Amino acid sequence: MDGFDIAGWGMAVPERRVTTTELAARFDIDEEWIISRCGIHERRAIDPGQSTASLAIDAGRVALERAGLTGKDIAHLIVASATPEQLSPATSAFVHHGLGIAGSAHDVNAECSGFIYGLVTGAALMKVDPRPILLIGSDTHSTQINPADRDLSILVGDGAGAIVLKPTETDWVLAWNLGADGSRQDSLRVQAGGSRMPTSATTFADGLHFSEIKGNEIYLNAVRFTVRSVRATLEQAGLTVDDVDHFVPHQANIRIINSILDHTGLKPEKLVTNLWKYGNTASASMPIAMSEALDEGRFKDGDLVLLAGFGAGMTWGSALLKWGGVSA
């Protein structure tokens, strides 16, 4: 058995809501301008005592319960995140302990593409070691935002989403595509805190531990690379956009999502989005959207579900799933 079944799913978001009304007042801008620009009415932010790992543990626990498993049944834990619990050890170590995972654990940092990277990694791992895998995307970008940064403050939200992969004889992944362009690594970055620019009084004073974004550059390249990835995945599968039943993009902002729809020809009615109420939750955005869609019964056996996203680095990726799988 070298295929997998998505046997469980779950999500976790903080209770605290940050509304667009609140941000419009803080930055002295029009509320409708924010909504038209990013499509977000509210987003969630962690409170003291919560963290990337605590959200991941909460989402993972729900996914395990739905799959009828416990941490002792999991052979491999993959945590996708760009906002780690701390620099060392990996966030997955904290999640591993919190959920009582029996097997291995590692992190994936491809920024907002992390869940796709983790899914493809998990699918490949299943082929060499067909045992249950827990894949979690969790991010708390609210902790990295300069409170005076309007552009990022209106976008980001915190959350986690998880899925459980169980070995099966059917194959759910029809095609996939991953890519990166490291020459664009400064389009979205946190400069300080690593070996290249160690933490110092100067880095704190200069605000170099906050996220920085080049919005126009991100927009143009996000659309370009995601569209390219979607086309490559569909071509690999021998299918077209008309064959896709559901499109689950990275929930970045509504302008980027609409541009991807326009350039690929994917129909708006196939879109799965909850951007308006959670904002951009980075690595968590796709599994959170999937979890809500599954809770609503939107995905049926035989449906073709297309996942696609992009992230800092830059990175991008897409995967086409046949819900319920196809015989190997």
Active-site annotation, residues: 112, 250, 280
> 146 by DSSP, 3-state: which?
coil
> 164 by DSSP, 3-state: which?
strand
CB distance 240 to 175 below 8 Å: no
* Terminal Cα distance for the chain, rounded: 9
CB distance 12 to 46 below 8 Å: no
HSE-CB for 182 with a 13 A CA cutoff = 0
Cα dist from 261 to 113, 249, 265, 268, 292, whole Å = 18, 10, 6, 7, 21
171 CA to centre of own chain: 22
Computed on alpha carbons and rounded to an integer, the radius of gyration of the chain in Å comes to 19
Q: What is the dihedral sign for C-alpha 62, 253, 248, 120?
A: negative
How far is it, in rounded angstroms, from Cα 270 to Cα 242? 10
Where in the chain does DSSP place strands (E)?
3-12, 17-19, 42-44, 76-80, 104-108, 133-140, 158-168, 170-180, 188-189, 212-213, 246-249, 304-311, 315-327
